[in-house]
């Protein structure tokens, strides 16, 4: 349901700190030092995320979607708690790996204003989502009997909104806020989502899209 527009912490320059380079499915970023990122301290996660990952690590098979929604709904961390992982890309939204469990990936997705996902499904994965900063527009789609796609609902939601969906739900995520307003979302996919099905409003053809996951060599995701 619609939420009032949240007060968004100022965007960090994390992308500038670490540079930008594309790679296949999973990429590893070196922990580079700068005036902002000084010293040799590794990135740390807030206590509620650490506890959540320890709990979810007990699952060796796909985590039920209702469990994902319940657990994510209890989180209280803020963008400032995970800003070292909030890496943006000027060309497209970016999926940053927070943790890799036996049956899931926990990702921090970072969206510049104007960036959108493809229209996509989750191709065999359940997904739980929490809005960490900014305001997200989600558009949900349905398929006609003869294979055409049409939108059924769009909703704009803000910080702390939580939802979960199944593998073949078709939707699109967008950051349509004003220029300079970032969007950061937590996504937990079980099993991990490397390849999604993508769709078009002008064609009945379905394609596959391999969405890169960016990890960090200082211990994130291990």
Hey, where are the domains in the chain? 45-216
Tell me the pTM.
0.78
Q: Is the CB of residue 15 less than 8 Å from the CB of residue 86?
A: no
Q: How far apart are CA 134 and CA 185, in angstroms?
A: 9
pLDDT of the residue at 106: 98
45-216, CATH topology level: Jelly Rolls (2.60.120)
CA dihedral (56, 44, 212, 171) positive or negative = positive
pLDDT of the residue at 215: 86
Q: Is the CB of residue 203 less than 8 Å from the CB of residue 194?
A: no
Beta bridge partners of 120: 171, 198
Q: Is the CB of residue 191 less than 8 Å from the CB of residue 125?
A: yes
pLDDT of the residue at 52: 98
pLDDT along the chain (222 residues), means of 10: 39 36 37 29 88 97 95 97 96 96 97 96 90 97 94 96 86 96 97 90 90 68 32
CA angle 114, 119, 123 (to 5 degrees): 135
Q: Please give, one letter per residue, the 3-state secondary structure of 119-183.
A: CECCCCCEEEEEEEECCEEEEEEEECCCCCEEEEEEEEECCCCEEEECCCCEEEEECCCCCCCCE
Half-sphere exposure of 128 (CA within 13 A, CB side): 24
């Amino acid at each position: 349901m619609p939420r009032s527009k949240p007060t968004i912490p100022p965007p960090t320059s994390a992308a500038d700190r670490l540079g930008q380079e594309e790679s296949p499915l999973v990429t590893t970023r070196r922990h580079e030092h700068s005036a902002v990122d000084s010293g040799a301290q590794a990135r740390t996660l807030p206590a509620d995320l650490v506890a959540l990952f320890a709990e979810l690590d007990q699952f060796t098979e796909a985590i039920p979607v209702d469990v994902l929604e319940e657990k994510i709904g209890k989180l209280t961390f803020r963008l400032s708690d995970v800003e070292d992982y909030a890496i943006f890309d000027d060309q497209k939204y970016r999926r940053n790996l927070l943790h890799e469990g036996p049956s899931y990936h926990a990702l921090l997705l970072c969206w510049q204003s104007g960036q959108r996902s493809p229209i996509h499904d989750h191709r065999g994965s359940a997904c739980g989502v929490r809005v960490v900063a900014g305001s997200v527009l989600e558009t949900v789609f349905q398929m006609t009997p003869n294979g055409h796609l049409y939108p059924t609902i769009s909703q704009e939601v803000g910080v702390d909104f939580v939802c979960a969906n199944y593998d073949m739900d078709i939707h699109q995520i967008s950051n349509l806020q004003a220029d300079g307003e970032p969007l950061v979302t937590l996504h937990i996919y079980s099993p991990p989502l490397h390849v999604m099905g993508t769709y078009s409003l002008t064609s009945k053809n379905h394609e596959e899209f391999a969405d890169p996951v960016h990890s960090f060599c200082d211990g994130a995701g291990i």
